[in-house]
Structure 1
């Protein structure tokens, strides 16, 4: 089993325990994933004069409230603090503000393995 083994993504290649197991599709054509978008950290108009920003205020007070999704239409429409919300796990529906697989350098560990995938 691969549980507990290191997973590394580097240079468009995926390794498990140091063994090359797959390549990353840099064109997003074979993996059916959408290309990530460039996200912003635009703030609501009243925040500027209050000294609030996305990196500090929103990360602490807004992200835990799911970035007001479904509660405040202005946040849903304008996607205020879009990058901060995504980074905090409260990204807006359809947003992928990540660096994308081709630019990802990652080291992690396998926690669980399913015997059958897609079946």
Structure 2
């Protein structure tokens, strides 16, 4: 599961690459490229922090200066299911899956979806600006 905007940017990236090269990369290739980008630039701590802030936005009511309750990284802060999530199918090799999961675990991501969503979000280009309606 990835955020809807990440899924849209994913398709946009594939379109850009196809326009440039004549070949559209598979979903697994795009995920691998995003992972390699994060690894090359050592983005793991930054990506984990982004995930934590997205999952636990801080408000005044959450002020706990003494750290009485600590941090609960996997806790949802909104009621109900993920509203903006979309499934992104890809077929990694067993070796790729083992590498993704090892890095996810080593850097403290709660699950594979959060990990790959963050990796893709850091790699994919933004969507083009929409022209205002006439």
Kindly indicate whether structure 1 or structure 2 has the higher relative contact order, using CA contacts under 8 Å at least 6 residues apart.
Answer: 2
TM-score by length of 2: 0.22
Larger proportion of helix: 2
TM-score by length of 1: 0.24
Which structure has the larger Rg over C-alpha atoms?
1
Larger proportion of strand: 1
